[in-house]
Amino acid sequence: MKRLKAWRPPLARLNDFFTSVVLASQSVARKRLLEELGLHVTIEVTHCDESHQERDPAKAVRLLAKRKMEGYRAVHSRYEGAVLTCDTLVAYEDRLIGKPKDREEARAQLLMFSNKKQVVHSGWALWYDNTLFDGCDEATVIFKKLDEKAIEAYLDLGEWRGAAGSYRIQERGKELVQRVEGDIATVIGLPLLQISEILLATVPVSDGAEYPPLRG
């Protein structure tokens, strides 16, 4: 059995571009990932209509992340610092799985995932240097075979609340998972490697410089 690899900061880290960021999300896990990069993170929750008819999970999370950014910018239009919004959905067969409404729905989701694979899609939008960047990344998660006792024990922890797919891989939810194919940060809900790579590709680097200079 493969052990889950611990997440490590990408080579081009976000704090090579900015030293503080507003995270328009209530996710403690996303905040922790950003803080591990040395960033000062301010949480400012944004509210928007999350209903949609999009069936493509990659398009759906990208749409919702941008919609959240639009909601934040509508209220804080004069703010010039970096702002990050995110959204995560789980694709299982032909279904899009979000956050469970209650314990019963969480139980059904975990039973459905048992011994199966799912694809986690995390979309993001970043307002930086007066420019909107956005994108999405995906990672495949393969669950162990779970019996009802294991599922009930996990549900008792309460980690399913507010978690897409009813588990948190950065917490005890990792015990449900056999392996991850892709960036585990994407499963947590924030594709830091992809964001860093996109920023690095758009900012010129002077000869001999390892990273772009700090900005903002």
If you classify domain 18-202 with CATH, what class do you get?
Answer: alpha beta
Q: What does each C-alpha distance from 73 to 17, 45, 189, 198 come to in angstroms?
A: 21, 12, 21, 22
Whole-angstrom distance, CA of residue 53 vs CA of residue 36: 35
What 3-state DSSP class applies to 136? strand
Active-site residue flag, 87: yes
pLDDT value at 26 more than 50: yes
Structure confidence by residue, pLDDT tens digits, 109-149? 999 999 999 999 999 999 998 999 999 999 999 999 999 99
Structure confidence by residue, pLDDT tens digits, 78-107? 998 999 999 999 999 989 998 999 999 999
Q: What is the pTM of this model?
A: 0.82
Residue 5 pLDDT level (bands cut at 50, 70, 90): very low
Structure confidence by residue, pLDDT tens digits, 46-73? 877 777 778 899 999 999 999 999 999 9
Q: Which of 16, 87, 137, 183 is catalytic?
A: 87
Q: Where are the domains of the chain?
A: 18-202
